[in-house]
Structure 1
Amino acid sequence: MAIDVYLGLGEGATVAQGDALWQAHAQLEPGLDALFGQAAATVQRRWGRRVPVRVWLSSALARPFLCGPLAGLRRWREVVALAEAAATEGTGLPGPCQVMIEEWPHPQPALAVAVQAQTLDAIESAARRHSLRVQSLRPWWAAALDHALSRGPDARLLAVSDGDGMTVLGGRERFDTANGYVPAPSAEQADKVLARLALTAGLQPADVVRVRLSRTAAPHDGLPFGAMEEQTLP
């Protein structure tokens, strides 16, 4: 069974026996090393087998942007190269970045997620040191949004907040808004951002779903690291 590991800029957690074990760190790489050490210590490994881990990144480490539309391209690697070239401007992350793209970005733009290459290298290096295998790597906000949409499929604007920032995605059938706000805005600032986006899109308060990472609640099925506090705009 894979172990879930959450990684943020200043904190992280592992899930062991259904409970999230949180810890703070001053620097990313030593914190990651401690988290993977904690993950490796929670299981009895078989000789020669690496323990699988699912790594969930905070909103500061995995940032969304819209890629395209890109016309005239024929190969997926061309799309990826252009998306990676645009990642720093689209997200504010210092390059170089690696980018995951949901679909072909034409004739409509596609949702893309950028992660710094040095963050990915640090994850793989730490996994090797602790005899772990990275089974998957995703933004935590993506799992939170999936969970929110399963409960409220008519939502048009979704915001996920964690300790590092707030991720906002909006649209119907496909995303036409994808923004990351780092560092995390205050509650009052977040209300103003969402109210402005909702007003621009002509949305009602009930169309907006807000999700917050909770360090104290038990994980949901399919959503590690805490139950969510959900609310619409006031």
Structure 2
Amino acid sequence: MKKRIIAFVSIIVVVVAAIVGFNVYRSSQRNASENTSTSSNSSAKVKKNGTVTRKGKNGKVLVVYFSRTKGVYGGALKRGNTARVADFIQEKTKGDSYEIVPQKDYPNSYDATTKVAQREQDENARPAIKNALPNVKKYSTVFIGAPIWWGEYPMIVRTFIDNVNLNGKTVIQFTTAEGSGLGNTAETLRKAYPKAKVREGFTTEGNKVKNDPSGVRSDVNKWLNGLGY
């Protein structure tokens, strides 16, 4: 009789241990799944309303950029030079990013693009942006990047600047160019946002981004470290 009781108790202990072990395992699997989902969402592209193209972990920083893969000096690209610099900034700051997408595409050839860019500048045009503008209220720092066209931001970037109020925020320019550097981008930002803090910008050659992306990433990180990001 005593042996039967001991055997019965032993069975109960084994069953309870199995149940506890299963619950612990299920909980660990659920947590792992949630962590993976969170990690994935931190860099996922968000298509709702076409606003933010990439979500980061730092809700205070927004990286805005205009970039092209066609009509680029040196030939077509898989990922635009300015877009790659924007990626480096977004990764370092862990902010969000927003791509300025034109409603009307620019020409596929470089020469034709330069002519359109010159005409838009002569006319002080404001080309339409296809995707919805981001809500910038929650951001304290906004980076604005683009290739330099005829010494300044492309006019479609001016469309963005005219329609988004960044006064009271920190605004930082970054550009890709083939000798024009930052152009007059700092002046443009100071004029548009007299109450914003415009900090030291970053520029690099488009061909360097194409041929030495790791070197450009290092340059971007060094620049951002100097700014405290």
**Structure number with bigger Rg:** 2
Structure (1 or 2) with the greater helix fraction: 2
Higher strand share: 1
Return the structure number with greater relative CO, CA threshold 8 A, min gap 6: 1
